[in-house]
Amino acid sequence: MKEEAVMFDAGGIRLEGRMAPGTGRGGAVVSHPHPQMGGSMDNNVVEAVCEGFQRLGFSTLRFNFRGTGRSEGRYDGGRGEQDDLRAAVDFLAGRTTAPLLLGGYSFGAWVTANLYAREPLSCDLLLVSPPIDLLETPFEPLADGLIGVICGDRDAFCDIQELTKRLGRINLAPHVLAGADHFYVGREEALVITIETILNAFLKNA
């Protein structure tokens, strides 16, 4: 789907993004993996997450956190990145219809979870490979908004047993993608299909 290059403000800095219009089903903001490990909005998993939302008619906004690509500022250990995500939510909310969802991958999933735990948002969440083995990710505060968590069965940064145990406390089970590690190389289409399945169930119950 054709995307438009956009720039938007986040607390005095300008952030770079790409937005694709949907068919009025809602909107999704998608966050990328760790910028200090090469992560950006051009990541293959970010593109797959966007594709999953777009196939269901959602408008999508992917963007670069501060200090990445053409986004101003510098890496802030996840604190300023939460503000970046909040600014992206506000930007897309003014340009699409409800519902508004947040799709985060790896570091982006961690930022998404912490922002949602920090302040009330009228958004639902879909997390891909939250790096629970590296970064403490809160799940209990997400109980009302979390529609799905996806993880590969070979993920070195998201232990399936621990993820299953922690999600079980909020009556949720992970969607486990066979043959996928943390980076989903060669498993992008399977990831898109899994996202479509989660979104179809969400829209049916909305």
Q: Give per-residue pLDDT as tens, 24-73.
A: 999 999 999 999 999 999 999 999 999 999 999 999 999 999 999 999 99
pLDDT bin (cut points 50, 70, 90) of residue 120 is confident
Can you tell me the mean pLDDT for 111-120?
A: 95
Can you tell me the mean pLDDT for 156-175?
A: 97
**Full 3-state SS string of 40-53:** CCCCHHHHHHHHHH
Q: Return the pLDDT at 142.
A: 96
Q: Which two tokens stand for residue 10?
A: 């986040």
Can you tell me the mean pLDDT for 88-98?
A: 95
Query: What is the tens place of the pLDDT at every residue in 190-200?
Result: 999 999 999 99
Can you state the angle between helices 79-93 and 107-118, rounded to 10 degrees?
A: 80
Residue identified by tokens 């970010």 is: 46
Q: Return the pLDDT at 1.
A: 72
Please provide the size of the chain in residues: 206
- Contact predicate 15/81, CB 8 Å: no
Q: What does pTM read for this prediction?
A: 0.98
Per the prediction, the chain carries an average pLDDT of 97
Which class does domain 4-205 fall in?
Answer: alpha beta
- The answer, yes or no, to whether residue 3 has pLDDT greater than 80, is yes
pLDDT bin (cut points 50, 70, 90) of residue 87 is very high
Q: Return the pLDDT at 206.
A: 77
Q: Is 116 buried (19+), middle (13-18) or exposed (0-12) by CB count in 10 A?
A: buried
Task: Determine if the peptide bond prior to 120 is cis (ω within 30°).
Answer: no
- Nearest one of 180, 112, 118 to 146, comparing CA atoms: 112
Q: Return the pLDDT at 187.
A: 98
- The answer, yes or no, to whether residue 116 has pLDDT greater than 90, is yes
> Residue 140: phi, psi to the nearest 5?
-55, -40
